[in-house]
Amino acid sequence: MPVATPQSVNAEVPFLSPSLKERPFMYPTSAQTNIVMEEHEVQITDLRSLSESELAGFTTDNSGFQWVKHESKLKGDELFDEEKIKNEYYPEIDAFLKKTLGARRTFIFDHTTRRAPPPGEKVDFARDRPSRRGPVPRAHVDQTPKAGAERVFLHLGEDAERLSKGRVQIVNVWRPIRGPIRDYPLAVADYRSINPETDLQPTDLIYPTRIGETYQVRYGDHQKWYYIKDQKPDDVLLLKCYESEVEPGRALLTPHTAFFNKDSLTQEFEPRQSIEIRVLVFYTE
């Protein structure tokens, strides 16, 4: 049988600029930040164009991300309904992660719905302004190891000490609300292709009552990026953002970013709508 040739797109992706010499910071409730970005052209490979054997190697433990088919009972605008999300979608994701990852317990601590602008409307999403939750074209990771460990104690109360002694992960469950996504797909970097020492920069995330941490990502031509072409609501991406058990060969996180797909300029599409659920995943009760 002929071997399929992987397909890819080229896109301009903003990365942390080396011109920034001080520690980066962001205020989630405003646009205030000292972060300086610079764009680099990145080749982003379509996961759909890979063979089944190749895809089998992309798991949360190997690459940091995993493409899983899963159909939600909630459709379309139901996934913008806060009550339905918390009362129906949260339990659905709990069951899904227990089945897919073998988790014993989960705690969903956050979710975000996003809408891209209408075709032709240009909006600067690079700083993810809270007044308009759109796609975030900025290479980043949601948690550092310090922030991931702190999340357990932030959310689990009297169970935190016990649970923190077992294996803990933070996994983002990302899906389109409508599809196919053509204008602002999500790209993910293979953990095996990054250099954590040079590519990741801890960044202060300053809240009114505490300071969290995220990673900004510096560009490197050694990095390998992937996306799902024409991603639909049943094409779920799992992104590991924190891993408590560090072992050789185990992925600890997933750099990711939205990117503007220039191919969409010649296509008809609905502007991207997506939902991401952020979950503490425990392997002990």
CATH assignment at residue 84:
2.60.120
Distance CA 271, CA 181 (A): 8
Residue 1 inside a domain? The answer is: no
Kindly tell me if the per-residue pLDDT of 1 is higher than 60: no
pLDDT over 90 percentage in the chain:
85
The whole-number pLDDT of residue 219 equals 98
Pairing, β 140-141 against β 211-217: antiparallel
Res. 130: pLDDT tops 70: no
Over range 84-94, report the average pLDDT: 98
In a domain, 159, yes or no: yes
pLDDT band at 127 (very low <50, low <70, confident <90, very high): very low
51-55: average pLDDT:
95
pLDDT above 70 (res 121): no
Q: Check whether 124 has a pLDDT greater than 60.
A: no
Evaluated on CA atoms 105, 96, 169, 25, the torsion sign reads: negative
- Whether residue 218 lies inside any domain: the answer is yes
Domain count of the chain?
Answer: 1
Is residue 3 a part of any domain in this protein?
Answer: no
Q: Looking at 49-53, 63-67, 119-123, 160-164, which range is the least confident one? A: 119-123
Contacts for 35 with CB less than 8 Å, ≥ 6 apart: 16, 20, 24, 25, 26, 127, 203, 216
How far is it, in rounded angstroms, from Cα 187 to Cα 151?
25
- Considering the domain boundaries, does residue 26 fall inside one? yes
pLDDT grade, residue 269 (50/70/90)? confident
* Tokens coding 209: 């009552």
> Is 266 a member of any domain?
yes
Domain membership of residue 2 (yes or no) is: no
What does the pLDDT look like over 173-202, one tens digit per residue?
Answer: 999 999 899 999 999 999 999 999 999 999
The pLDDT value recorded for residue 122 is 54
The conformational region for residue 157 under phi > 0 = left, psi -120 to 50 = alpha, else beta, is left
**pLDDT recorded at residue 5:** 83
Domain enclosing residue 232, as ranges: 8-282
Q: Let me know if residue 137 belongs to a domain.
A: yes
Residue bearing the bigger pLDDT, 128 or 116:
116
